[in-house]
Structure 1
Amino acid sequence: MLRWVRAVALGVATVLVAALVTVPLAAAAPATDLWAITSPDAAQLTSGSGVVDYQRLDRGRYEFTFNQDVSNCSYTATINGLPPGDSWSWLAFTASGHLGPFGVYVETKTTLSYDTLEDHGVVLHVQCAGNYAVVDNKGNLRRGSGVTGVKKVGYGQFEVTFDRDVSASSFVATIGDPGAGRVDYSGVVFTASHQNRNTVLVQTKGTSGRLTDYYSFHLQIARYPTWVVTDYVGAVVRSSRVVRTERVGRGDYRVTFNHAVSGCAAIATIGSPDDKAVAEPGVVATALWDQATISVRTTTTSRQEPYDRPFHLQMTC
């Protein structure tokens, strides 16, 4: 626990910024791997690839600008660690840029008070190639790559089918607006395999755990060979470039890879390791533990109570 707190505390800025924060990075050639990480207090951009600007628009609202048009891409985000003493669940949501086609809009909310926007760091991944889908709450494919069909099969339940076998991969997803809107009500999204090996099952739920049709989502299939899918106790079900996983406490896991991941983005989703849906809701956060290890925390959706959940973790470097 002390190492988790220390790893998070290293990225915390000394001053919380109440006004607009703009942190420009030097422009670079267009990147294939687009990602960004902000400090746990959201005060500054700490690392990234292809990201040229970060703005804190208001409390819990941010705009990331990349070096290319990302309006036809998908956006997933994960909470970046937890500050010392934090006892509430946090959620991240995405949308197309509010300031232009090169941008991605992100919101962070806490369950301290229903749908309250609060500052928190995130890990953001923008996927513009490979297999991904952006699906609205009615089951319409709004944009994607390698998608052959989307079917709404029930209340808050969707089947997304791709043009290849994805059953040996990992699936991450984020509740997000398919356009440049906002997510008005907090929700969670879960992924699972399907009997059709080309298909991923996606479920959207409110924070109470009930399936709901309210949410659109962004789904990404692992494009790069550094990922893991675990069961409820953190054991590896399938993976790529993973040395080991370890459950160090309830809802507290460490994933060690066979190469350095300190310069990578860690995106995680609560997700089933098989074709059975995750029954209980939960949220997930990631943090760098050491050069080759990522800490993953899974908790309930109300208070920040650690609870064992299966997860899909993808690294983009």
Structure 2
Amino acid sequence: MSWTSTLGLRWPILQAPMAGAQDSALAIAVSRAGGLGALPGAMLSPEGLAAELEAIRAASAGPINVNFFCHAAPTLDRERQARWHRALSPWYDEFGLDLEAVPESPGRRPFDHATCDVLEPFRPEVVSFHFGLPALDLLARVKAWGATVLSTATTVEEARWLDAHGVDAVIVQGLEAGGHRGHFLSNDLSRQMGNLALLPQVRQAVSVPVIAAGGIADARGVAAALALGADAIQVGTAFLCCPESRASAIHREALMSEAARHTALTNLYSGRPARGIVTRLMRDLGPISEAAPAFPLAGAAIAPLRAAAEARGLGDASPLWAGQNASRCRAVPAAEVVRELARGVAR
């Protein structure tokens, strides 16, 4: 029996957790359709996390994956912060905003004991991590209630590390994937590769199940990933235009336009490389900027710009996260997306 079957899943299909673009509604819809819905917890307050988990359990939707970040909380570098503000100054002038009013709030918190205190009473069946794994005592708490632990690898070396440090399955994030890169052993993006090359290498290198993520949008992509050795697949972009998603109207419009054909890795929105549709901000400053503060501090100065531009109907400063294959991003119920993906699973 496969590990996804032991979780009670009908299909080896996981919905990628997408912080800022979804809440419990999408997770519930995917789980009800036989896949594994995911709730992104990195941007939720303790109260918000509890409310979302209560909604999921009240819906009796089946197994759920709750996802967290494992980044090291950065120390504010005021010199770098000043460079970042200088780089954004023309944009603040354009939108009539005050740079002096920018808060220093990080916006995303790493997984900690306080968060685990909120999570533990709900006993989610799966807990997944991005940017490595939490400290051993935190990992032990999660495993103590029987949760399946997943984490993301962008290289063979990261997959081996995760296998050696207690994950139950590795999410293999190809370079095609949208959103934040999950790398944690090296910041060298040239070491990362697409799924066609990465997936079979990881399959050979680890003893645990592997989950393919990146560039998969339909049944053919599912079949290809499974043929390359994946035990399951994880899909994000294809769910963003579903009615259960919380993606903005601007984001949805971009996803279903020709603009979605041009994505790039950028650190402008958070301080860490993430793939999204190319925006005016990315063209203006370059997608990767040395001035951007460490993750997640860069986002504090971007948030007012995003709000001001979106108020004018513009996505010029919005993080329009998307993978390299948005071809199946449609305004259809999430259950229909799951059914389409499931056609690629051999019976």
More strand by share: 1
Structure 1 length as normaliser, TM-score? 0.32
Q: Which structure is larger by alpha-carbon Rg, 1 or 2?
A: 2
Higher relative contact order (CA 8 A, sep 6+): 2
